[in-house]
Structure 1
């Protein structure tokens, strides 16, 4: 029997082709039917990120600690030798100073993290991405900056004998190196998970988190040199010196690194919304050069004003206040424009019959979304989870439609749009999606119902007796004579008790 000719191998199955198209435009891959959670975790990039990236950050932090321990002990020994008597701090004294300085640096870091978590309101960035940026800025960027700055300072001159070498490196080299180190994570995230970065505020938030973490680690090094040096020199108060340095770097000029890195973030966000390859290259580069220039101006202010520390600090405060106020004004303007964009793009799906007519109005307003979340929180975890799913799907759907309009996403976005619409349809029955007539407090939350619910909860928490167990006897009333215990079986009444 003759055999039929072999069938030519297909170039790509529809599933493989769809996965490739989505990967090229930064969209999530379609779900594979029959794949378990373990197999899905192995195919998820975040799993390997947790396995490789965070241990790497811990290792780099340990390397940074070793480098700064050697540098601090050496610089303090040289400073005390010039004062007349060489004194080197021990490793135990250095570690004690590290703990004390890290506590002060954590104050500025906590303030910065709170502010950046607060401004990330339109489409909240994933918590894992925020943690990645924090670890990148505090470990990877610091290690890279320390290594390159030390190498360049050695090329410019021996920093131990030539003080101008460190000044030149701080003004002309450190701004470019540090801004590159802090902003590299933005470029990597824009390439790997750009589908999760749908707004410029998200990119600015990630840049600020990386910069604040970088600044916290850098501040620890400044605090260490100040505190340990003052502790080794007779007649100086190390606590007062440390507080003065914390006031200068941790409170008055904490905005420096976040403000500079924001310039790079704006360039990256502008590039992600443009389909031109030329703009995608030039915009991040322009933002990076702007950030390095502002950083250079910040570091060079002390050299420009010389010994007049008051004038230099006044200039920095005016410079920083102007930049921060300008960014805040731009943030609120951008917040309103992003709300209009969400409403307009959701209206496209209303005209096509996929969404309710009220959806663009409800989900384009920040306070209306907050009202839905608060009301869902008081109605139970199932309602809250479904409401969060609806809001996230709505915002992603609006920005996906905007990306299709801008030309940065092709026909592969239509398939993802259908998935998001299915998520919204399935969650509507449980979640909240309408604010008109909605009360944050449920209508059945009356005082009588709350008391009844608390009574049922207390009764449920009380320990239950096992079936067949004898209930405990009530104590006898006052004045009742207590009868002696019954005699043992087989022993006559009145017989003597045997002990032992």
Structure 2
């Protein structure tokens, strides 16, 4: 709680400071013009990164914290440090005119990427359960960098508008239009692309048990982010066509590769959800129709819509929470079964917590997910009996083990045998692994002996 209060206070103070600092540099009119223009790419970028993380959705509170950190704290650190470094270089160099170019290539990438990476490191350290792999690192980095780019765009666009206002330039030939075209139209993905490299490194480290890998991968990702950022900042000084060469030969291919990787990671998470939840469905914790629905993003959306039409917003929120908990449970089991860094005790405690929430929410969310699976043709509806004319058909019941709650506690106590976790032999995911096996952790056995043996 103390850490949370400290971080929120830091965000509030840095937000007030960066607001006044940017307004002072751009002027009041430039500030509001820059604010309005800088807002345009924020919603599409956040929606894109949220879509990438829909397989195992992270809490909005974490994502908004990261966006706020990028927009307030990281931006404040970057502006103050960059200004100080540029002034120091200008006073020490024999050619003061080169101070800005040297600062943008050598100082700004280092300071800005470290400031943004601090948000990822905070989530990795204090909310480790929300950092399960490269996909989570990519999403968290995207929100952080989007917030940072938002504040930086206000500064650049506001300054450009101030120059145009002072010189009386027309709109089409103005600095504001040129800045808007380069920063908002051509390269809104620049900062997210750089910081995503750090996020991928931290996410890969989250799956490793070897200390050199857990330390080296984040540092490698951060170094690549700094190098890409420095190359992008130096493109304007590489001649008349330097910007277009770097943009077309480096930035666009790198962005396309990042999109391909992000989609691949998303599909891999959905496959993991389907594979791991089958074990819990076999033990009776989930219905057989729920698993294909939980492993399909369209089916999840349809289930929320069905729940909202029947029970309003609370029902839709219950389905959303149920799907998030089920995905977290699947990724937790996959990490433990593959020898992830979280040990058997951590796995058992977290598994019990998630199973308790699933147990309480199944009555509200299960029917909507099952119906969505049937409507999306992911699960065949049970056959119907032949009935008399005029009577509705009666579905033939499918024998599914139904959990029976134990008196005075919704979830049974853990098994007396410790949950087996394999020895840490590898650091990555297990794409070819199957369901429960001799070396995989078993879910809790339901009352009545319905668990997987």
CA contact (8 A) 1:227 1:239 kept: no
Among 313, 327, 331, which residue is 1:399 paired with? 331
Structure-2 separation of matches of 1:368 and 1:97: 46
Q: For 1:183-194, list aligned pairs within 5 A.
A: 183-194=117-128
Match of 1:332 in 2: 263
Q: 1:198 aligns with which of 128, 132, 152?
A: 132
Instruction: Supply the distance in 1 between the matched residues of 2:136 and 2:64 (Cα, whole angstroms).
Output: 14
Q: 2:86 aligns with which of 143, 153, 157?
A: 153
Cross-structure match for 1:389:
321
Counterpart residue number, 1:375: 306
Alignment CA distance shift 1:190-1:377 (3 Å): same
Query: For the pair shown, which has the larger CA radius of gyration, 1 or 2?
Result: 1
The question of whether the paired residues in 1 share the 8 Å contact of 2:308 and 2:316 is answered with: yes
Contact 1:226 1:238 in 2 (8 A): no
Residue-by-residue CA offset, 1:376-416 (whole Å, 9 max, x unaligned):
12111353243223212211111121232233222232132
Separation in structure 2 between the aligned mates of residue 211 and residue 220 of structure 1, nearest angstrom: 14
Closer/same/farther in 2, CA of residues 101 and 300 from structure 1, 3 Å limit: same
CA positional deviation for 1:439: 8.5
Matched residue of 2:269: which SS? helix
Question: 1:428-475 CA distances to partner (integer Å, 9 max, x unpaired)?
Answer: 2222331444589xxxxxxxxxxxxxxxxxxxxxxxxxxxxxxxxxxx
Tell me the distance in 1 between the aligned counterparts of 2:38 and 2:346: 46
Shift of 1:144: 0.8
Deviations 1:140-179 (A, max 9, x none): 1111112222222233223998110111111111111111
List runs of 5+ in structure 2 lacking aligned partners. Answer: 378-453
Q: How many angstroms apart in 1 are the aligned matches of 2:354 and 2:323?
A: 11
Alpha-carbon distance in structure 2 between the residues aligned to 1:354 and 1:101? 52
Q: Is the 8 A contact 1:400 1:413 kept in 2?
A: yes
Q: Please list, as runs of the form range in 1=range in 2, the aligned pairs for 1:338-357 lying within 5 A after superposition.
A: 338-357=269-288
- Following superposition, the deviation at residue 356 of structure 1 comes to 3.8
The offset of 1:321, in angstroms, is 1.9
- Aligned in 2, Cα 1:122/1:427: closer, same or farther, shift over 3 Å? same
Q: Which residue of 1 aligns with 2:22?
A: 65
> RCO higher in 1 or 2 (8 Å CA, sep ≥ 6)?
2
Deviates more, 1:139-148 or 1:109-118: 109-118
In the aligned structure 1, how far is the partner of 2:33 from the partner of 2:22? Answer: 15
Greater displacement, 151-160 / 162-171: 151-160
**What are the Cα deviations for residues 248-297 of structure 1, in whole angstroms up to 9, with x where unaligned?**
12211222111111100100100111112211111110000001111111
Counterpart-to-counterpart distance in 2, 1:237 and 1:117: 39
Q: TM-score, normalised by structure 1?
A: 0.68
How far did residue 137 of structure 1 move?
1.0
Q: Contact 2:124–2:131 at 8 Å: present in 1 too?
A: yes
1:415: which partner in 2? Answer: 349
The within-5 A match list for 1:309-324 is 310=241, 312-324=243-255
In 2, distance between residues paired with 1:312 and 1:44? 46
Whether the 8 Å contact between 2:133 and 2:204 is mirrored in structure 1 is no
**Structure-2 change in CA distance of 1:48 and 1:156 (3 Å):** closer
- 1:386–1:167 Cα change, 3 Å: closer
* Separation (CA, whole Å) in 2 of partners of 1:229 and 1:138: 24
Aligned residue number for residue 214 of structure 2:
280
Residues in 2 aligned to 1:238 and 1:429: alpha-carbon distance in whole angstroms: 59
Q: Which residue of 2 aligns with 1:296?
A: 230
Q: Give, in whole Å, the separation in 2 of the partners of 1:315 and 1:393.
A: 43
2:369 corresponds to 1:433: yes
Please show how residues 458-477 of structure 1 align to structure 2 within 5 Å: none
- Equivalent residue runs for 1:155-234 within 5 Å: 155-158=88-91, 162-233=96-167
In the superposition, relative to structure 1, how do residues 404 and 145 fare at CA in structure 2: closer, same or farther (>3 Å)? same
Aligned-residue CA RMSD (Å): 2.6
Query: TM-score, normalization: structure 2?
Result: 0.75
> What is the rounded CA distance, in whole Å, between the counterparts of 1:314 and 1:47 in structure 2?
46
Quote how far apart the aligned CAs of 1:314 are: 4.9
CA distance in 2, matches of 1:147, 1:273: 35
Which range is displaced more, 137-146 or 379-388? Answer: 379-388
2:236–2:242 CA contact under 8 A, matched in 1: no
